[in-house]
Copies of this chain bind each other. A is one copy, B any other.
Amino acid sequence: MARNDSRRDQLADAGITVLAREGSRGLTHRAVDRESGLPTGTASNYFRSRAELVEGLLQRIVDRLMPDAATLERLAALPPGRESFTRHLRDILRRMLADRDVTLAWFEMRLEAARRPEVASLMHETLLTGFQGDVAYNEAAGLPGGAREIALFHYAVDGLVLDRLTVSIDPHADLDQVVDDLVDGLLPD
Question: Which residues of A are in contact with B by a Cβ distance under 8 Å?
Answer: 20-26, 104, 107-108, 110-115, 120, 123-124, 127-128, 131, 147-149, 151-152, 154-160, 162-163, 165-170, 173, 178, 181-182, 185-186
Given the known A-B contacts A104-B114, A107-B111, A186-B185, are A155 and B163 also in contact in the complex, defined by CB atoms under 8 Å?
yes
Partner of A148, one of B156, B159, B181: B181
Name the one of B22, B110, B152, B167 contacting A25, with C-beta atoms under 8 angstroms.
Answer: B22
User: Once the chains are docked, how many angstroms separate the CA of A104 from the CA of B108?
Assistant: 11
Least CB distance from A12 to B in Å reads: 20
Q: In the bound complex, how far is the Cα of B81 from the Cα of A86, in angstroms?
A: 30
B160 touches A155 (CB 8 A): yes
CB distance from A154 to the nearest CB of B (A): 6
Q: Contacting A167 at CB < 8 Å: which of B20, B113, B156, B162?
A: B113
Q: Say what secondary structure dominates the interface of chain A.
A: helix
Residues in B with CB closer than 8 Å to A104 are 111, 114
Closest to A185 in B: B185
In the complex, what distance in Å separates the CA atom of A132 from the CA atom of B117?
37
Q: A23-B25, A26-B25, A111-B23 are in contact. Are A181 and B152 (CB under 8 A)?
A: yes
Q: Which residues of B contact A108 (CB under 8 A)?
A: 23, 111
**Which residues of B have CB within 8 Å of A24?**
23
Instruction: Give 18 A-B pairs besides A152-B178, A155-B178 with Cβ atoms closer than 8 angstroms.
Output: A25-B25, A108-B111, A110-B162, A110-B166, A113-B167, A120-B166, A120-B167, A127-B167, A131-B169, A149-B181, A151-B170, A155-B155, A155-B157, A156-B156, A157-B159, A158-B158, A159-B160, A185-B185
26 A-B pairs in the complex with CB atoms less than 8 angstroms apart = A20-B114, A23-B115, A25-B26, A107-B107, A110-B162, A111-B166, A113-B167, A114-B165, A120-B167, A124-B168, A127-B169, A131-B169, A148-B181, A151-B169, A151-B173, A151-B178, A152-B181, A154-B159, A154-B163, A155-B157, A155-B178, A156-B156, A158-B162, A158-B163, A159-B162, A181-B186
